[in-house]
Structure 1
Amino acid sequence: MKKGIVSILSTVAGVAIGAGATTYLANKSKNQQQGCIERYTTYYNMLNQWLILKTEGRSLEEYFKENNYNKVAIYGMGELGCRLYEDLKDTSIEVKYCIDRNLDGVYSELDVFSLDDELEEVDAIVVSPVYDFEVIEKNISEKVDYSVISLEDVIYAI
């Protein structure tokens, strides 16, 4: 009799734990999906605004000139960082180097450094992974004294 009760209680506990774990994992997955949706929506809106500027014949160079940022570095050489470099490449703004966590995976005409390296002084570091700007800005600011700006702020300021 005791074995039957223990068996039933074990089964009920197992089902409850399984249901709880399943619910937890489903919610975690849903939250991760929502985060991805928000990230890509931010990127979409920003790229759309950048394209509007381009069709109006405007360049991000305007922002940097207005703020006396003549020498800059780019943090993050994913798609957005590469587009930023291409946008500034043939302008009066000198892109001195780029910073990226994935040194081996970055192809660039520029020197690529990590935040652990000694960084040459520039007027500003532009962060291209805008969704994580606050965390990245904090990490960079612990290392250097120059301005750290978000690519999103640059695009929407023009």
Structure 2
Amino acid sequence: MTKKEPRYEMIESMYKILNAWLSLKENDRTISDILLENDIHSVYIYGAGAMMVHLMEDLKRSTVNVLGIIDKVDGFLYDGTNVLKIEGITDKADAIIYTNPKENNNVVIKLKDYCRKVLSIEDIVFDVLSE
């Protein structure tokens, strides 16, 4: 068996996440439903890529408050939401959701200082928060 290329693994992970996310929508559930069921009312989103765009769309129709978007490049707005570096976080959130399924563990550990929970988008769409 050959080892998969890292880029292929990333694409495969994103495909699985998006497929599960669409299944949620087909069953009239949203990411915000899952967050609220787990007493998560305020979040930061880590990563300003394509998954963030979809997550922002899901959350904009809910009462979940997006406090900001965390990325390596800061100083601009995305759809009215501040994009900032980790060091720019000023308010503690219920959770930080990281959108890269292959995120570096050191980054995840660093994010824990700024919230109650650090969650991957994968954990949410596969609804494993309470496990």
TM-score bin (small chain): 0.7 to 0.9
Alignment of 1:59-98 (within 5 A): 59-98=30-69
Report whether the alignment pairs 1:152 with 2:130: no
Distance between the aligned counterparts of 1:45 and 1:118, measured in 2?
30
Question: Per residue, is there more helix in 1 or in 2?
Answer: 1
Distance between the aligned counterparts of 1:136 and 1:68, measured in 2?
24
Report whether the alignment pairs 1:53 with 2:24: yes
Q: For 2:125, give the aligned amino acid.
A: I
Based on CA coordinates, which of the two structures has the bigger radius of gyration? 1
Tell me what 2:71 maps to. Answer: 100
Question: Per residue, is there more strand in 1 or in 2?
Answer: 2
Distance of aligned partners of 1:79 and 1:105 in 2 relative to their CA distance in 1, 3 Å threshold: farther
Counterpart secondary structure, 1:111: strand
Question: So what's the TM-score if we normalise by structure 1?
Answer: 0.72
Distance between the aligned counterparts of 2:65 and 2:84, measured in 1?
17
Q: For 1:48, give the aligned amino acid.
A: N
8 Å contact kept, 1:133–1:150: no
The share of aligned pairs that are identical, in percent, is 26
Counterpart secondary structure, 1:97: strand
8 Å contact kept, 2:89–2:114: no
Distance of aligned partners of 1:133 and 1:50 in 2 relative to their CA distance in 1, 3 Å threshold: farther
For residues 66-101 of structure 1, give each alpha carbon's deviation from its aligned partner in whole angstroms, at most 9, with x where no partner exists: 110011111111110111011010112111111111
Give structure 2 stretches of 5+ with no counterpart: none
Give structure 1 stretches of 5+ with no counterpart: 1-29
